[in-house]
């Protein structure tokens, strides 16, 4: 695996989960969860965010450090740490209400990137960080800087309608970023919100035509669709007892990033490799949904499946090609 690992940019916050009158707090934020998942799966993860130097911010910093994430000191730039209140349904699904101001220090981000002693092999961003002004412009600048240096770039829109406004404006911004992104991961809910009525396989092909090398669309309990120039296929999701779905897509994204770091490139992915990578990522997500909050798996939890998935020994039964 390249020593450079991953550089992740985006929001970190506290998820406040409300279920049957019980209130629980967990560390979260989609990019933070991705950084956490990457580190737990054995790759280097450096993370820049904007949190407060308050109790919640310190809790997030400790949570990330416990899993080996390298949090940039410049991350303590916000007046207070953001929160997302997740209202959990009986099936474990979550709807969100946010208290966040996304205003990272853009000069810090670009300086960290430009003067890194060791160039990261992959840059990931997305979610609120890529859509909510003023910080969204920093995410765009980082993606373009990384792409100009041939660094692998990954992006998860992770749409939050309550924060980012009308679909037309969000779609315009999303499409402006496509040309700077090698890998797009999104949920079927994101896809439907951005492109109503467009089937996932059609949308995946359209995004490939726009210059993206790999598209992964998660399909909830059905698994995921992956597409590259080498093929389009679906991989199934393991059947598990669901505690909640918080962080499942982020765990999928983290595992996808780790698999691509291990490969060293996103180019020329064929159907067999798509299947192996997809199964690895869906297994990571399946572990996450079995426990409360955004709690991605550790490398040791995925090791047997990880070795099979990445070495081409996975079972392809049930795939819809």
* pLDDT tens by residue, 92-116: 676 778 899 898 887 778 887 877 7
- Cβ contact 262:309 at 8 Å: no
Residues of the chain below pLDDT 50: 1-2, 305-321
Burial class (CB in 10 A: 0-12, 13-18, 19+), 203: buried
Task: Give residue 317's pLDDT.
Answer: 29
Under DSSP, is residue 124 helix (H, G, I), strand (E, B) or coil?
strand
Helices (H) and strands (E) in the chain, counts: 12, 13
| The pLDDT value given to residue 304 | 60
Determine the pLDDT at residue 109: 84
Nearest residue to 300 (alpha-carbon basis) of 314, 317, 287, 313: 287
232, β-bridge pairs: 227
Query: What whole-number distance in Å separates Cα of residue 251 and Cα of residue 244?
Result: 13
Beta carbons within 8 Å of 47's beta carbon, 6+ residues apart? 7, 8, 9, 12, 31, 32, 35, 64, 69, 70, 71, 72, 75
Q: The CATH number of 6-310 is which of 3.40.50.720, 1.10.10.10, 3.40.1190.20, 3.30.70.1290? A: 3.40.1190.20
Task: Supply the pLDDT for residue 89.
Answer: 76
């Amino acid at each position: 695996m390249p020593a450079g690992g991953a550089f992740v940019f985006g929001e970190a916050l506290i998820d406040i989960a409300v279920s049957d009158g019980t209130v629980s707090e967990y560390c979260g934020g989609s990019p933070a969860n991705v950084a956490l998942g990457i580190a737990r799966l054995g790759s280097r993860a450096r993370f820049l965010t904007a949190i407060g130097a308050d109790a919640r911010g310190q809790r997030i910093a400790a949570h990330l450090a416990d899993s080996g994430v390298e949090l940039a000191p410049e991350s303590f730039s916000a007046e207070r740490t953001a929160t997302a209140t997740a209202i959990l349904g009986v099936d474990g699904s979550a709807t969100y209400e946010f208290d966040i101001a996304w205003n990272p220090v853009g000069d810090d981000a670009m300086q960290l990137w430009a003067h890194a002693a060791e160039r990261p092999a992959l840059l990931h961003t997305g979610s609120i960080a890529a859509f909510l002004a003023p910080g969204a412009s920093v995410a765009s600048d980082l993606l373009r800087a990384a792409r100009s240096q041939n660094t692998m770039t990954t992006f998860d829109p992770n749409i939050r309608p309550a924060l980012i406004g009308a679909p037309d404006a969000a779609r315009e911004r999303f499409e402006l970023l496509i040309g700077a992104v090698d890998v797009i991961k999104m949920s079927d809910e994101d896809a439907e919100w951005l492109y109503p009525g467009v089937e996932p396989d059609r949308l995946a092909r359209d995004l490939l035509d726009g210059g993206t090398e790999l598209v992964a669309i998660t399909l909830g309990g059905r698994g995921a669709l992956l597409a590259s120039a080498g093929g389009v296929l679906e991989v199934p999701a393991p059947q598990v007892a669901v505690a909640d779905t918080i962080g499942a897509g982020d765990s999928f994204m983290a595992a996808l990033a780790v698999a691509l770091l291990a490969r060293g490139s996103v180019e020329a992915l064929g159907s067999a490799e798509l299947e192996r990578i997809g199964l690895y990522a869906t297994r990571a997500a399946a572990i996450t949904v079995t426990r409360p909050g955004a709690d991605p798996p550790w490398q040791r939890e995925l090791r047997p499946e990880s070795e099979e998935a990445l070495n081409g020994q996975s079972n392809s039964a049930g795939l819809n090609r």
